[in-house]
Amino acid sequence: MSFSQKYHPLLTVDKDTGEQESLQCRDPRKRRSLLVIAVIIIMFTSLPFVHMIRSRGFWGACHGSQRNSSTLAKLPSHYTLPSGDNIPSVALGVWQAGKGEVGNAVKTALTAGYRHIDGAWIYCNEEEVGQALKTSSIPCEELWLTSKLWNTFHAPEDIETALDQSLSMLGTNYLDLYLIHWGSYSPTCASCLFRTRPVAFKTCTTILDGDLTADPYPTWQKLEELVDKGKIRYIVISNFNTRRIKNLTANNLKYQPAVNQVELNFWNPQPELLKLSKENGLLLEAYSPLGSDKQVGKSLSVPEVKSITSKLRITPAQVIISWSIQRSTIVLPKSITPSRITENLEVFELPQEDFERLEKAATSHTPQRVVNLSAGWKLPFDVFDGQ
C-alpha cells in the first residue's frame, strides 16, 4: 500500500480485498468523523503555505500589478535647509493631545523613530511633552523641537518671557524651531481664552494690534536677538500668505525664515504657494495633512487614494503622507494611537504616474480651506487675502 493510500483522509481500504473505496460506502458516523479530520488537516497544511506565498510576494503576482510595500523605495527621511542642517520630513504633531495622552504619544513616536516633535505653548501640554523627552535616552542634539510664540506675546518686550516658559516646561535650553503662531482654540485647556488668527493681539487681550499684524518686523528683530543668544536655532512663520511673506522679507533680515507652517492637504493643496516657496528656498510644513478632523474620512476615501492603496498595498494615510512628502513638504500628522503613529512614519515613493494622478486630482477641485475665522473674529480683512 502506498503512502498516499495509507494516509489519504478521504479513502479507506477494504480489509478483505485490499480495494480502495470511497468514504461514501462506509458507516455514516465514521464518515462524518473522517470528514472533520480531513478539514482540520487541510486547514493546518494550507494556512502556512498561503502565508508563505503572500509574504514572498507571489500573492500579488497572482492578482495583477499589486506590489508589496517592502519592494517600494523609501522617501528621504530629512530635508536639507539652506544652512546645511537636515530636518526630519515627518514630525509628530501634539495639538489636541490631552493630559495623560500626549506623553505616551511622544514616547511611542520616539521609539518608532520620530525625531521631530511639533508643539506649542497654547496646546497646554508642553510640560508633559518635556517629561516624556526627559525619560528618553535620545540625545537632545538628535531631536528637533518646535514651539510657538502665541499671538498675545508678539510685542518685543513679551517674547523672551514667553519663550523661557516653553523652554522650562520642555526641559531644554533651546528650541530648534520657534514659530510666530496664530493657532486656534485648544479645547484641552480651560485657561486658553484666545482663539486667534495669523495676526498679533495686544498683550493679554483679543484686541487687534494693527501695527504688528501689518508689519511683524519688530517681532522678528527680537526673535533674531534670541537666535544670537542661542535660545532659538531657526525662526519659523505660520500661515503667512505671499503678501505677508514679501512684507517681512523686504526688510533687512539677519536670519531668513526657515519654514512656513500652513494648512496643506488634498483639499487645500496650495500649488502656487508651494511653487513660490521652492523658488525662495522656504520649506512648507503641512499641518492637517490628512485634512481637518471632519475631512480625514473623506480624504482616505478619495478614489485615487483608494486605487493607489490597492495597487501598492499600503494604507490610505501612507499614500497621502507619501504624496505630501514627494511634493517637498514637511508633514505634521497628529495622533495618540500607537499603531497610527508608527504607520504615519512609514512613507514610500509613489510611482511617478500615481503621484501625478493624485496631484492632478488634488489641484483640479475648488480649494477647501477649513481654518479661517476672519469673519468670526470680525476682522476688517481676510487673513488669507492675496495668497
Q: How do residues 293-340 score in pLDDT, each as one tens digit?
A: 889 999 999 999 999 999 999 999 999 999 999 999 999 999 999 999
Q: How do residues 108-164 score in pLDDT, each as one tens digit?
A: 999 999 999 999 999 999 999 999 999 998 998 999 999 999 988 999 999 999 999
> What are the respective helix, strand and coil percentages of the chain, to the nearest 5?
45, 15, 40
pTM of the predicted structure, to 2 decimals: 0.76
Q: Which residues contact 78 (CB under 8 A, 6 or more apart)?
A: 86, 87, 88, 89
In this predicted structure, the answer to whether residue 344 has a pLDDT above a threshold of 50 is yes
Helix/strand/coil (H/E/C) assignment for every residue in 264-281: CCCCCCCHHHHHHHHHCC
Give the separation between CA 11 and CA 123, rounded to whole angstroms: 71
The pLDDT of residue 29 is 61
Q: Which residue has the cell 475648488?
A: 366
Of these residues, 123, 178, 234, 287, which one is catalytic? 123
> Using 50, 70 and 90 to split pLDDT, how confident is the model at 371?
low
Long-range contacts of 381-387 (CB under 8 A, 24+ apart): 383/182, 383/197, 383/198, 383/199, 383/239, 383/241, 384/239, 384/241, 385/241, 385/243, 386/241, 386/242, 386/243, 387/241, 387/242, 387/243, 387/270, 387/272, 387/273
> Using 50, 70 and 90 to split pLDDT, how confident is the model at 7?
very low
Domains along the sequence of the chain with CATH:
1-41 (no CATH), 72-364 (3.20.20.100)
Task: Mark whether 79 is an active-site residue.
Answer: no
Angle between helices 102-112 and 338-345 (to 10 degrees): 40
In this predicted structure, the answer to whether residue 383 has a pLDDT above a threshold of 70 is no
Q: How do residues 9-34 score in pLDDT, each as one tens digit?
A: 333 444 444 444 443 444 556 556 66
